Each structure stands twice: as C-alpha cells, then as structure tokens.
A and B are shown apart, each in its own frame.
Chain A
Amino acid sequence: MPRPAPQPGETQQVISTEIAALHRAAHDAAASGAPVPAHPPRDFPPYRSTRLRHPTHELVRADPEEIELVSPAFGHTDVAAEEADLTIQHTGEPLGERIILTGRVLDGEGRPVRNQLVEIWQANASGRYVHKRDQHPAPLDPNFTGVGRMITGDDGSYRLTTIKPGAYPWKNHRNAWRPAHIHFSFFGSEFTQRLITQMYFPGDPLFALDPIYQSISDQGARDRLVATYDHDVSEPEWALGYRWDVVLTGSKSTPMEPEDADHA
C-alpha cells in the first residue's frame, strides 16, 4: 500500500491552542455561574466541519407535545440476537483484539431505558471503515463489517462483542488522528432523548489532541464518554471486557428540592 504524501494544513499546535482558549472561556463562564451545558457546542471552530454547519440563531425553545413524549416502538423482531456479536458475521475470524462491551442505558432519574434500540458502527482494528468514501490506506478486513444492533434489556442493559477499533487519520488539520472510538445511536423512551455519540477507550494518548473529543469543555463530561476496563467482564482465554453506562437526559429534578433530603 503506497504511503500517501503528507497533507498540507494547519499544525496541531494551532488547533490545540484554539481548544485551550475555548476551554478557558468555558471554565470562566462556569466559574461566574453560567450553567454547564451537557452537550458540546454546535459551533466548535477547532473541529473545522462545524464552521458552515452550525446554526447561527439561538434555538427556539419548544414544549414537547404528545408525539415527542413517546419513542418509536422498536422490538425484538427488529433485531436478531447475533447482531450484537460483530465477530461472527462472516465466515472467518476478524483480526484484532476481541472485546466485550456492556453497560446500562438510563434516563436522568436513573430509570432503565428498556427495550430500546441501540445501534453501533466502527472502524476495524486497522482504523478503516467499510465505507466507500473512507480512503484511509489501511487494510479492510473481509471478516469485519463493524455494524451491530441490539435491544436493551429490562434493566436497560446492552452487551456486545466486537473488535477494538484502531485510530485513524482524518483531514481536519495536518497529522489529525481520531482516538479509537465506537459510534453509538440510542433511542430513549421519549423521542427527545435521541442521542448519537461516541464511546472511547481509557488512556488514549490522542484525547488531548482531538477536536471532536475536546469539543466538550468539561473534563467530567468528557470522562463520561470513556469506557472503563472491567476485569469481571473479561472472559478467560477469550476477550477483554469494558463497561460503559449511558444517561440519555438530564435529571428533571433540581438538586436542592427539600424532599430529596429523604434520600440522604
């Protein structure tokens, strides 16, 4: 596979300096009492693709009507059990580090999000997607497509077996590499709980450099996208285990309500 010529473009230092300035501004705002948003801003200039794709008007606040307070009714007929195991979808074994990933999907009150669809997609162990526009010169794996689906259980849990994805380069700036990640799509019990996000692996050296991961200014919120290695999930002679819990909405209660004292 021929090695491509280095891409021109802005240096990592330019991007990292921009990220640091935006984080400082967000922390200053929080220190003066501004609420910390749960989600990244839609305009995050170090992630260059947001430049022409973020709304410039403030979003209009709407009260959810009936249709927004329920969710599409996915069911077990939609998904085959084997779709949660990405390592058995072809005749041979995929290459790479086999992992088991499990966790619970909850709402902001800690209630399990039951019987809802979870979809995942990811690159293979070499950092290549089975997508015709992914031109990263890393090998495709004939035994790995990188697509999985499952329905959460009564306790809101999901569990999947897959291959740890590789890091891959992208063209945001010169020498931009995405930390290894798995894309997740969730439906909650209300359509307004819809969430698409990415799960990362602990200790990735690319975290500090990645404008997508760093689009979240709060370290605590960034940490919520990182799975935990869990030795109890690992299976002997078979796979390493990770745990990642997901909360689809903020709590609707306020932390200072007097009746909460009962829970102390």
Chain B
Amino acid sequence: MPEQPTHQPLAQTPAQTVGPFFGYALPYAGGSDVRAAWQSDAIRLHGTVFDGAGDPIPDAIVEIWGADAAGRPPTERGVLDRDAHGFSGFGRAAVDRGGHYAFTTIKPGATRTGLAPYLLVTVFARGVLHHLFTRAYFDDEAAANGTDPLLSSVDPARRNTLVAVSDAPGSYRFDIRLQGEGETVFLEFAALDFGLDGRHEEMQR
C-alpha cells in the first residue's frame, strides 16, 4: 500500500470552456477602455483572433492586465466601474463578428529592471477548454526586448508572435493565432497548473 501523505493539498477545480453564449454576461460598458481614449498617454491595442484554418473567430473574449507607466501593478479598487480619469489596468473585450478586438490602455513600464514592458493577455473562446495566456510586448522596445529573459527563451522563429506591431501613431496590432501558421506563443506559469491530488487520486484507484 502506498504511503499516504499526511498533508492533503486541496484539489484544484478544472476549467471548462466559456462557450459561445457569454455575450450578454461578460462584456460590460467601458470594458475595453482601460484608459480613456482622450488621455494623452492612451494607446490602442487591437488585433484579430484566428483559428487553425486562418479564419477569424467570432466568439472569443480577450482580457488584458498591465502595469502602469512606472511598472507598478494597479491596486485601485473598482475596476469594472472605473473613473475615466483613472487607470485600472484591467480590460475585457469581446471580438466582433470579424474576430477583431480593440482596447485603449497605456503602454506599461517595465515591472523590473532588465525586463521589457508587456501586457498580459488572456484568451477565452468556444472550443478552448482552458483559457490561454500570452503576453503582448511592443516592437518599439527593441533594445529591452532583445535582453528580456522570457522573449530570449522563446524559439526565435516564433518570438515575433509575442510582439505587438506599431501600425499607426499610438496604435499597436497584436493578432492572436490559436493554431497553425504563425501560432501565437502561449504561456503557462510555474507551480500553478498541477493537479497534485489528481495524481494522488489515481494512486488510490
């Protein structure tokens, strides 16, 4: 009989797809305006979410989360019901029927010396059983990007999928490809995705 652990870690709740019918529930007024567009430091981050056939996905929802211009995570309460003069760091935008999403936000500062600035991006969609995390770095930060540890660890052939491209003054394009040609690099975070007692349950079976 296997030795029983004396401390039982709690069993993690599995993810399920967001499905196609979140449209009346998750999007909210102003959800894509992390920073009011009239603010002088506002930038646009936008793009299209594509599937493995290269077709735009009409039922995805994208969330972003980013530091302020000084690289500090926002801590102000009231993120949904935000003040247009403030900056909440969090945004949520459903794609339109053409698979396109758009946020207004600010360009974050680097959270630590030696890191390049980026926005954290989360993608949910029908057919995506567990959400996907990625990061949007900025193409006008070539020097910082060149030494960023995460970017440097990624296959050079795929690195540019993590970089938003300036396409107009104050505007960056960040397309997300779930599969196939130009597939976006998606991230998993250490120590967060292990079903330790899932393994334990199997041992008891």
Binding site for B on A (CB under 8 A): 27, 30-31, 35-42, 44, 47, 49-57, 59-68, 70, 72-75, 77-79, 106-110, 117, 119-121, 123, 129-134, 145-147, 183, 185, 191-198, 212-213, 215-216, 218, 220-222, 224-225, 246-257, 260-261, 263-264
Q: Known contacts being A51-B52, A196-B124, is A77 close to B9, with CB within 8 Å? A: no
**Nearest chain A CB to B192's CB is how many angstroms away?**
5
Q: Is B40 an interface residue (CB 8 A)?
A: no
Closest residue on chain B to residue A44 by CB atoms: B129
- Taking residues whose C-beta sits less than 8 angstroms from the other chain, chain B's interface range is 35 or more
Q: Known contacts being A31-B202, A109-B10, is A52 close to B127, with CB within 8 Å? A: yes
Bound: A50/B115 CA distance, A = 34
**Nearest chain B CB to A245's CB is how many angstroms away?**
8
Query: By the criterion CB–CB under 8 Å, are A72 and B89 in contact?
Result: yes
Closest residue on chain B to residue A195 by CB atoms: B15
Closest residue on chain B to residue A145 by CB atoms: B24
Bound: A33/B168 CA distance, A = 52
Which residues of B sit under 8 angstroms from A198, Cβ to Cβ?
Answer: 16-17
Bound: A234/B129 CA distance, A = 32
Query: Contacting A250 at CB < 8 Å: which of B20, B59, B196?
Result: B196
Show 11 A/B contacts (Cβ-Cβ < 8 Å), sorted by A. Answer: A38-B195, A68-B120, A72-B74, A121-B21, A129-B21, A129-B24, A147-B24, A193-B192, A213-B16, A218-B201, A220-B201
Query: By the criterion CB–CB under 8 Å, are B112 and A65 in contact?
Result: yes
Query: By the criterion CB–CB under 8 Å, are A53 and B179 in contact?
Result: yes
Closest residue on chain A to residue B117 by CB atoms: A67
5 new A-B contacts at CB < 8 Å, known A36-B201, A55-B179, A196-B18: A35-B194, A120-B25, A183-B18, A194-B131, A255-B8
Which residues of A sit under 8 angstroms from B96, Cβ to Cβ?
Answer: none
Annotate B2-22 by CB proximity to A: 1 below 8 A, 0 otherwise.
Answer: 000111111111111111111
Which residues of B sit under 8 angstroms from A147, Cβ to Cβ?
Answer: 24-25
B residues 40-81 touching A (CB-CB < 8 Å): 51-53, 55, 57, 59, 63, 65-67, 71, 73-81
B residues 106-154 touching A (CB-CB < 8 Å): 108, 111-112, 115, 120, 122, 124-133, 135, 150, 153-154
Q: Known contacts being A73-B76, A250-B191, is A260 close to B7, with CB within 8 Å? A: yes
Closest residue on chain A to residue B126 by CB atoms: A49
Query: By the criterion CB–CB under 8 Å, are A215 and B198 in contact?
Result: no
Query: Contacting B199 at CB < 8 Å: which of A30, A44, A62, A264?
Result: A30
Query: By the criterion CB–CB under 8 Å, are A255 and B9 in contact?
Result: yes
Query: By the criterion CB–CB under 8 Å, are A196 and B111 in contact?
Result: no
Annotate B175-199 by CB proximity to A: 1 below 8 A, 0 otherwise.
Answer: 0001110011111111111111111
Query: By the criterion CB–CB under 8 Å, are A67 and B120 in contact?
Result: yes
Which residues of A sit under 8 angstroms from B125, Cβ to Cβ?
Answer: 53
Query: Contacting B193 at CB < 8 Å: which of A60, A247, A250?
Result: A250
Which residues of A sit under 8 angstroms from B13, Cβ to Cβ?
Answer: 195, 197, 224-225, 246-248
Bound: A197/B108 CA distance, A = 30
Query: By the criterion CB–CB under 8 Å, are A72 and B90 in contact?
Result: yes
Bound: A108/B7 CA distance, A = 12
Q: Known contacts being A35-B194, A64-B190, A72-B65, is A121 close to B79, with CB within 8 Å? A: no
Query: By the criterion CB–CB under 8 Å, are B14 and A224 in contact?
Result: yes
Query: By the criterion CB–CB under 8 Å, are A133 and B20 in contact?
Result: yes
Which residues of A sit under 8 angstroms from B115, Cβ to Cβ?
Answer: 65
